[in-house]
């Protein structure tokens, strides 16, 4: 490892909050499915920004669309309508066959929204607030309180307990385990279909 790379790593360890153990490499750029460090070494990227950058790096069509939109408007909030959001929702509805779309900024925010939607739906059905959610062991949903509460690894939850409550855990690919958790208070079952924390 070169001196400049070590300097960046040392500075990051002093300035950035430690949420993950980072690999000892400082990335500089990407191209396709490859990443390059500041010394020019190439890496095949199997992480893709933790699965949020699946189109790869330096994708001309994506980059050109992003640049064009930045020149028009970047964000307007949900208080207003905007053409990209309407067009994206139309396409997502067609592909997913769902009847509504809600855009979020992260997976944790998506899980928070799903938890709230499930509990609100159940509340509107029976007027009670004691509904339960079934989540899977070995799952990881994010670092917000709701997402941590449904994360199936106690190690991530223990420093933040108590969580949101009324969460039961079952085992993925074990239908009997899920059925054993279902009762008349169940309002949702959360599945992380590709369990990154489960070693897949």
Domain range list for the chain: 3-72, 76-103, 107-189
pLDDT in tens, 143-157: 899 999 999 999 999
| Cα four-point dihedral sign 102, 107, 108, 111 | positive
pLDDT in tens, 49-106: 777 778 889 889 999 999 999 999 888 888 999 999 999 999 999 999 999 998 888 8
**How far is residue 148's CA from residue 143's CA, in Å, rounded to a whole number?**
6
142: left (phi over 0), alpha (psi -120 to 50) or beta: left
pLDDT in tens, 22-32: 899 999 999 99
For the chain, the C-alpha Rg in angstroms (whole number) is 21
* CA distances (Å), origin 9, targets 23, 30, 49: 10, 19, 19
Q: Give the architecture (CATH level 2) of 3-72.
A: Alpha-Beta Complex (3.90)
Q: Which residue has the higher pLDDT, 119 or 102?
A: 119
């Amino acid at each position: 490892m070169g001196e400049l790379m070590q300097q960046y790593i040392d500075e990051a360890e002093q300035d950035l909050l430690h949420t993950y153990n980072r690999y000892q490499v400082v990335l500089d750029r990407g191209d396709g499915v490859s990443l390059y460090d500041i010394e020019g070494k190439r890496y095949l990227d199997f992480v893709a920004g933790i699965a949020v950058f699946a189109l790869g790096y330096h994708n001309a069509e994506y980059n050109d669309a992003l640049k064009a939109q930045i020149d028009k408007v970047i964000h307007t909030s949900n208080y207003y309508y905007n053409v990209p959001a309407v067009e994206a929702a139309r396409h997502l509805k067609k592909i997913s066959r769902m009847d509504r779309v809600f855009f979020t900024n992260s997976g944790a925010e998506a899980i928070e929204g799903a938890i709230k939607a499930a509990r609100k739906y159940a509340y509107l059905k029976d007027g009670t607030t004691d509904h339960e959610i079934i989540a899977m062991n070995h799952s990881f949903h994010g670092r917000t309180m709701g997402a941590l509460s449904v994360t199936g690894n106690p190690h991530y939850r223990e420093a933040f307990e108590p969580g949101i409550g009324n969460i039961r855990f079952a085992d993925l690919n074990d239908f009997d385990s899920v059925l054993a958790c279902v009762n008349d208070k169940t309002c949702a079952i959360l599945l992380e279909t590709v369990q990154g924390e489960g070693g897949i």
